A and B are shown apart, each in its own frame.
Chain A
Amino acid sequence: MNKYSKTLAIGEHMCYTCGEHQFRYGRKKVQSVKIQQEMTLMEKLSILTDAAKYDVACTSSGTDRRGNKKDMGNCLAAGLCHTFAADGRCVSLLKILFTNECIFNCAYCQNNCNSDVPRASFTPEEVCTLTMEFYRRNYIEGLFLSSGILISPGYTMELIYQTICRLRNVYHFNGYIHVKAIPGADPALIQKTGFLADRMSINLELPTADGLKKLAPCKSRNTILRPMRQIQNSIAENKNELVVYRKAPQFVPAGQSTQMIIGATPESDFQIMSVAEALYHNFDLKRVFYSAFINVHPDADLPVLPGGPPLLREHRLYQADWLLRYYHFTVDELLSEDRPDFNIYLDPKCDWALRHLDFFPVEINRASRRTLLRVPGIGYKSAERIVKARRTCCLDFSDLKKIGVVLKRALYFITCSGKMMYNTKIDEDYICSCLMADRTQIPREIREGGYRQISLFDSATPGESAVTQEELIRSEAVAGA
């Protein structure tokens, strides 16, 4: 146990800025408890949900665990999303912070010790009841527990461990649990927590060490990567153990993930994707999440984003991320030093295909699965179906449509029994303008002019500007490709 835990019972703290955090060491403890007691569960939940909402990793996938016939809960490998919030993001887990009190001063975070937000802490008991009651009503798929740094990383990790331990062993919860490992916490604690959680994550926060130093001076690359390596090694060890002893306890069965903030620092997409690729290769991560930066409080170091968070960029990064994980692409193929950012008009796969027309057309009835995966409009599932279906018969374009291939995108790149669908040219400009002619291919942000700065002295009428906008898109897309 931590040396502070004797003077303070778990969760009995309340302070408004961490500048005053000495008083939590005992002197004004009574006062802080009083503030805590006035707060209802509803208020706490509101505050701590608000505090957790910028974390993106809300997935419940990766573990397949049947129920054990007596305890509540099971897990599905594909994961389930229980509802979708007003921003269209899925709500799969009860995503909360244990406490939003924090001694760190990360500039991008609304819970940093200098910001003026209401602070609250749950007790382990409250987190457990909320999880159990929400879970049995089928509101959630499990718990996502993160926390601000209360007193010290070790102390916070201990609190998280206590909560999870209670949930698993006292409440016998058998559903999905995702916890954050706190950078700088005792490795033994992280190890213990790993045996109770399904997924663990440590946020990389910013893609480069420089960015981290600037915006999160309390964190360092080293303290983040060390526990990541530890979890990776433990998972590998545990897998070997499970081969020998089938019933051995599982360590982080759904793997670990991380997240990066996009747009707070001037890194290029190429840098970000290279970091992601390195994480997948060297740390065996299951997922890397990208979170469009949202400026929650004014800070001189942070960019002002008049057009809102860079959602389209985030979307392109996710698309590329899937290409890395499921489509056997490498970052070097998609981007380079000379072209460091993704084409905002075309998705990364189309973009790649247009720059590698020598690779096409691909013969559907003969091409390997890997080759099929490179064709725009053919996804992971359709490639699988094509490979299986062509064993029995020769596939035609109508069969491809049934299989689920998006022909309006794929038709420029494929042949069936040596024939193309229509008489099309294999020419970059031609294909690009054809793809652009389909308005649904253009991202909504651009279609609706989200990228256009509205000026007070703008004289063009709306009708005119729509036309020029469209022409602009087309010409820029061709130039970009």
Chain B
Amino acid sequence: MWTFGGQGETGRMCALRGGVFMYIFICEDSLEGIFTGVYDACASRLGHRNIHLASGEPENYELFSEYIRVTPSAEKTQKVVSTLISRFGRQFYESICQAAMSGERRSRKKMDKADAIYETILLALACGDGQKVLLSLGEPCVYRVFELCRATNREACQHLQFLRFSELENGVLFATIHPKDHILPLLAEHFSDRLPAENFMIYDAPHRLAAVHKASGGYALADAGELDHDKIKRYSGDELEYRKLWLAFFDHIAIDSRRNPALQMQMIPKRYWADTPELSRF
């Protein structure tokens, strides 16, 4: 169904989904990028039905779509965040953030992350009740946000359990993780509460990020591109001893007549094994 309008912008508004003619906002795959995208998309006044958001460059460009690149802006992000929190509450905002933090690979079969977030926010704005919108899983965009949010939560929860600190020479606790999603802030939050009097650092290897916590202070996220890989292997004197004790405990706690490696693997999937001393024996 093609509708030809008068002149200028409206003339190009052929409000057909399925890639006939669309404005596609390409945002950076980060919280700031997506929120700026949401802000720009709303402010552009091109009509919500004509707008899609994409988190990252598309694999294939569509012939009749116009691509608009979004530069992340802290100010615009702040505006979106304060609107979300003041109008729909903290819980709604957190769900949106968790969905945005997901590192799930984009696929053509599933709705784009940024697009799902954008449409969910639009629904919430129209309905006025964020919690109600999040429960209407019949909406594809809400379901997608729910799915992403659940995946991120699960990943974060697994890492709270399977992350292991090692004490370095200088007394700092150091942990390396390999998560799929950007869960570092969630982990840092948890461990700052748990170990307030420790200096610790969690290194997110695939994203090259680190959360650094200073004893009786807060934590900060830092770029860890230039991490000293020799320094993090120099353990303190006690470290290896406690690791051995832990391995002994781990071996002895299992009951031989109940041995069930399949169950073990189901409960702690293999991708976590490399970072846990008891299963990788490092």
Question: Interface residues, chain A, CB within 8 Å of chain B?
Answer: 41-42, 45-46, 49-50, 52-54, 66-74, 80-91, 94-95, 130, 133-134, 136-139, 292, 294, 308-309, 311, 385, 388-389, 391-393, 395-396, 399, 402-403
Contact = CB atoms under 8 A, between A and B. Distances in A.
Given A83-B162, A138-B175, 12 more contacts: A45-B252, A46-B252, A50-B252, A70-B216, A81-B267, A85-B250, A88-B263, A136-B195, A136-B198, A137-B242, A388-B135, A393-B136
B246 interface: yes
A72 B258 contact: no
Contacts of B195: 72, 136
17 contacts: A72-B195, A72-B197, A74-B194, A80-B161, A82-B162, A84-B263, A133-B242, A134-B246, A138-B191, A309-B258, A311-B258, A388-B135, A391-B132, A391-B135, A392-B132, A392-B135, A402-B143
B249 interface: yes
Contacts of A90: 267
A54 to B, nearest CB: 7
B166 A137 contact: yes
B228 to A, nearest CB: 21
B255 A54 contact: yes
A49 B259 contact: no
Contacts, number: 152
B165 A137 contact: yes
B245 interface: yes
Nearest to B272: A83
B245 A308 contact: no
A95 B143 CA distance: 41
A392 B136 contact: yes
A53 B249 contact: no
A90 B263 CA distance: 10
Given A69-B196, A87-B259, A88-B260, A136 B165 contact: yes
How big is chain B's contact interface, by range? 35 or more
A304 B201 CA distance: 52
A467 B8 CA distance: 73
B137 A385 contact: yes
Contacts of A46: 248-249, 252
Contact of A88 (B157, B167, B246, B267): B267
Given A83-B278, A309-B258, A389-B138, A91 B197 contact: no
Contacts of B137: 385, 389, 399, 402-403
B254 A72 contact: no
A94 B279 CA distance: 17
Contact of A84 (B157, B165, B193, B267): B267
B170 interface: no
B74 interface: no
B198 to A, nearest CB: 6
A88 B264 contact: yes
A70 B161 contact: no
Q: Which of A68, A91, A396 has the most CB of B within 10 A?
A: A91
Nearest to B129: A392
Contacts of A80: 157, 160-161
Interface in B117-172: 132, 135-138, 143, 157, 160-167
B63 interface: no
A202 B196 CA distance: 34
B231 to A, nearest CB: 18
Contact of B194 (A73, A82, A88, A392): A73
Contacts of B136: 389, 392-393
Contact of B255 (A68, A87, A133): A87
Contact of B254 (A68, A86, A399): A86
A53 B196 contact: no
Contacts of B194: 67, 72-74
Contacts of A91: 250, 253
